[in-house]
Amino acid sequence: MKTPAILPSIVLIALLLTPIRCVALTGVPPAPQVQVEDSAGIFIVENASPPEGSRLGWRIGSEPAVSIGEVDGEEPYLLHVAWDATRLSDGRIVVTNTSTQELRVFDARGTYIATWGGAGEGPGEFTELWQVERWPGDSIVAWTAPRQGISVFAPDGSFGRTFNMERDGDPLWPFFSPQSVTGNGSVLAVLALPNADTLVAELRDGEGRTTAHFGTHANMEVHRVVVDGRASSGRTIFGRRPVHAAWGDRIVIGSTDRYELKAFRPDGSLERLVRRAHVPRTPTPANVTAYIDENVRQPSPGMSAAERQSLRRSRRVYESMPVAEHFPAFNSIITDAVDHLWVEEYELPGEERPGSVWTVFDSEGQALGFVETPDVLQIVEIGEDYILTWKRDELDVEYVQLWRLDRGGG
């Protein structure tokens, strides 16, 4: 199960991946303390934070087992805007090459074998390919951004059908956008209007019909400012962002301003609240400056006067945005094939770590411990024994890579 399909922000640095190791002196650190309460049929899972500096004994291979992407080579290996992928049960890897509106299929060794779909408006074609996920029966589904049409492909690549998100009888109501697929083949759909304080989440069946409502939840904080006589919109610096994903047959929804995640049953009822101890931290002026520096490019010698002026205006827009009282409680979430929930710790601007740290929770919401992955990898899928990633190197060459994941030792 994946995180929502939002354009990733990737740090373009050279890849350095070392095996994850447990740093506790006694081997695998003890599991964090947890308290579980039942409040009117809703489980409240309160977790202590894992010991600082500890890591689970899980290990990632020191190099990718499969790497797809080349600087120069045959066209199928020249990936462009290929930021999503999924792995089938026989080891094939399906990559969304969105610049050509294609699903490129590679065997378990990374050798190109087929292309599904393509640009167009006919059956099985795409106008703005966005995301791909597994579907029951080892089929896959892929969807597009503007019309939110979801296409189903059989394991051999033959096109099955397309269905759209039902509009509840109101032709003027905006489309709900598909986000992820549950284990039983339902689709999490979200309506998040650009300047709305809240978003609406629903569950849809394999025909796009609404089967459950999850209510409204906090949306991204967006503000409108006027700089140099022109209006611009932007996010609160360190402001909250919504997170949501399929977690087995359940749906998990939260917001980065609070370390609390809500898990809903397929019928829309709230099943449990998963919390982890977190100490809020207040941003300093240096943190704000580092945040702006990360989001606004520095002028380069070859830039025109107009480009330099545009960069100066972008900086003034950021400087006009309000700053949240505290840093986010966490950065993102993703779920894996064995119903573990991974929550990525927030990294302060200007205080880069060698890797991203995740708190891993089991299927009941109990924290198992910390796992570390390299910062330069954008994780698109976590299987039982692999991690599927996307990256772009310093030459803007894109790669989809599979890394072995050994969950032994903790």
* 131 has a pLDDT exceeding 80: yes
> Are 148 and 158 members of one domain?
yes
> Are 227 and 332 members of one domain?
yes
Q: Flag whether 248 is in a domain.
A: yes
> Are 272 and 327 members of one domain?
yes
What is the share, in percent, of the chain residues with pLDDT greater than 70?
A: 89
H/E stretch holding 311 = helix 305-320
> Are 192 and 221 members of one domain?
yes
Q: Flag whether 21 is in a domain.
A: no
Question: Which pLDDT score, from 0 to 100, does residue 405 have?
Answer: 95
Q: Please state the domain count of the chain.
A: 2
- Reduced to 3 DSSP states, what percent helix, strand and coil does the chain have, rounded to the nearest 5? 10, 40, 50
Letter string b/e over residues 144-154, b meaning 16 or more CB atoms within 10 A of that residue's CB? bbeebbbbbbe
Q: What is the pLDDT of residues 170-180, one digit of tens each?
A: 555 667 889 99
The least confident of 12-21, 98-107, 339-348 is 12-21
Among 296, 322, 348, the domain boundary falls at 322
* 8 has a pLDDT exceeding 50: no
* 17 has a pLDDT exceeding 50: no
Q: Flag whether 40 is in a domain.
A: yes
> Are 189 and 316 members of one domain?
no
Q: What is the pLDDT of residues 247-305, one digit of tens each?
A: 999 999 999 999 999 999 999 999 999 999 999 999 999 999 999 999 998 888 888 88
Q: How many CA atoms lie within 13 A of 91 on its CB side?
A: 11
Cα–Cα nearest to 143, from 86, 66, 202, 79: 86
Q: What is the pLDDT of residues 29-44, one digit of tens each?
A: 667 788 888 888 899 9
- Pairing label, strands 270-276, 42-47: parallel
Distance CA 195, CA 192 (A): 8
* End-to-end C-alpha distance for the chain, whole angstroms: 22
Cα–Cα nearest to 398, from 150, 125, 73, 147: 73
Range of the domain at 295: 284-322
Q: Flag whether 24 is in a domain.
A: no
> Are 295 and 333 members of one domain?
no
Question: Which pLDDT score, from 0 to 100, does residue 7 have?
Answer: 37
Average pLDDT, the chain: 88
Question: Which pLDDT score, from 0 to 100, does residue 39 have?
Answer: 80
* 27 has a pLDDT exceeding 80: no
Q: Flag whether 200 is in a domain.
A: yes
The least confident of 45-49, 146-150, 235-239, 312-316 is 146-150
> Are 206 and 289 members of one domain?
no
Q: Flag whether 1 is in a domain.
A: no
* 62 has a pLDDT exceeding 90: no
* 380 has a pLDDT exceeding 50: yes
Among 271, 293, 322, the domain boundary falls at 322
Q: Flag whether 234 is in a domain.
A: yes
pLDDT band at 144 (very low <50, low <70, confident <90, very high): confident
pLDDT band at 148 (very low <50, low <70, confident <90, very high): low
pLDDT band at 150 (very low <50, low <70, confident <90, very high): very high
As a whole number, mean pLDDT of residues 121-147 equals 88
> Are 187 and 204 members of one domain?
yes
